[in-house]
Structure 1
Amino acid sequence: MSPLSRRWPLLLLVSAVAAYISPTPEPPGAVLYDRSWPYPASGGDSWPPNPWGRRLWRRAAGAGAAPRPAYRGAVGQPHWMPPQFLQGADAERGLQRVLSRQRRKHGRPQRWNIARLCEERGECTCYSQKTRATYCCDCEWGSCFPGQAGVALEGGQLRRMDRLAAGDRVLTVTSGGELTPTTVLGFLDRRPQATGEYLHLQLASGHQLRLSANHVTFTRSGGGVYASQVQPGDELLVAAANSTSYSPVVSVQYSIMKGAFVPLTEHGTLLVDGVWASNYASFPHALSHALTTPFRLWPALLSERFVVADKNVLVDGLKRLGRLTLGAYSGGVLRLVSP
């Protein structure tokens, strides 16, 4: 055996080490790729770390032309991309696809998989004792009105809650039982992608009020009560044509729905699904109406400049103060599974 043939493994090893520790040059018009998903980090650090420590480049097709991908990823995207069900508006739809596959395979969704998905979205895992469903929910804030709830405008039309905006004129009811217009000043809570458990209060008049268990509504006998305290036979104030009347509750059902919205009006009340309801949840109506006086006097406090991660920091501080001093009413229908 020749000396060269005996040394080629050593030469190959030296060449590989030299290629590994040598810096990768940055070609002109290149785009940086990183294998650090799902934990991208700035400054070159990532976890889990890239075991090869190499930066992968691709060269642009030419000046002014779209770069060609070096891997199977789409143009302008790295090869390792997060799944579509964890991205933006497709997150909820993708989550339902995952749960559907689990139901077909296992007969029921696997809770540990749901918990992992909720953790990826930065949310908690909640279990509904009424619907026996496990879903992703906010760790601190509850839900109030779903996005599909209808709000009566001044002209009599209905507008979905998720399409309502500050400045809209909606209908409410005065203390004398008369319809009157009021202005939406802003939103105490507006989370279109949130998921929560909602009650469906079916009335004899055909109206169906959809709201969370801890939201305040008004009955004929008890005044302002939480929705979870409403029982069949209780009468709620509904609007029909240009008049109002009381209609008894026929049944109470539960479902998991998308969206969490809390509009704030000048009167503190509004017509939702044709039924008179409060703007507030978790605390008594009169107390909440008094504490939100600064927001009605200066609606700019509800603008986007005070919103961080879909939550108004001023409203969040007010809620935390109320929980510390009074304790919030949750309705007792949700059980937190994991943080």
Structure 2
Amino acid sequence: MSAEKDVSKTAAEEYTIKFIPPQSGDVKTIRLPRNLFKYGVISLLAGALLFVGAFSYAVYSTFANRNGAAEIEDLRQVNSIQQEQLLQLAKKANNLQEEMNQLKKLEEDIRRLSGAQPMQENTQDNGGNSQGVDPATHDGQGGPLNIPTVQNVNDTLSVVEQGLAQRRQSLTALKEELSQRQQALGLSVVSLPGGTTPSIWPARGVVSSPYGLRWNGSDFHPGIDIANDMGTPILATADGTVRVAGWNDGGYGNMVDIDHGNGIMTRYGHAMQVAVTAGQHVHRGQVIAYMGSTGFSTGPHVHYEVRINGQPVNPSAYLH
């Protein structure tokens, strides 16, 4: 009786799995303890849940990465479009600037042919302080490469706007002068006394590259280039203290920086030879260097900048 109870108890604590072949053959029997079967089922369910969770996370990560990549690509396309639009705007601003220079040259020709008085302006962006220098043989340009920015384009458009106002005023005066048939008076160049505000040309020569956008809008030129023969003297345009005198790795070649006080600084680049030293006090009209073609340059010229509180401005307003 006790043996029967033990057998019955053992059978109750086991699960029997039988494998019956479709045709005649031996029946396979597997007996599993109840606890082992229970743990096996639990493990199987847990594994299934883990598999479903891992699969769901993988699917989610795949879609998230795809969406992130798509957003990055969209941002790249938008940035590319904006850069292209800025480049096109820079080219248009550059074309407007060139047309303004051509209009100014045309007015100069009309005044010369008609015998009218020369333009009463402080700048000569196209002719420069040439005094007999042939622009056909002096066309050196240079300076550091700067990718145009929104601020650069705005600065160039401001220069064009100012030029339009000057042209309007100058042409109105020319019309009045021609209508009165008055003979023009020659405009002499007067030497200015010493001072800390730049107000003379840094060298004799022709302006081979004005301030603003150039090279079809692909570069912003922070100064003006005045071209002449190698060794032409370069003058300090105002009293001040030399801060830099020597080689510059940023494309200026042999360079001189002069601090004039009140946040005003002038820069002279591409010199063949520097004639001053850092810390030296110089006066307006003093020779500080000699024209060359060092650094990023296509020919002998001086790259001249005027900076106010570190920001380049159009030097034309300081040329007399």
TM-score, structure 1 as length reference? 0.19
Which structure has the higher relative contact order (CA within 8 Å, separation 6+)?
2
Structure 1 or 2: more helix by fraction: 2
Larger radius of gyration, structure 1 or 2? 2
Give the structure with the larger strand fraction. Answer: 1
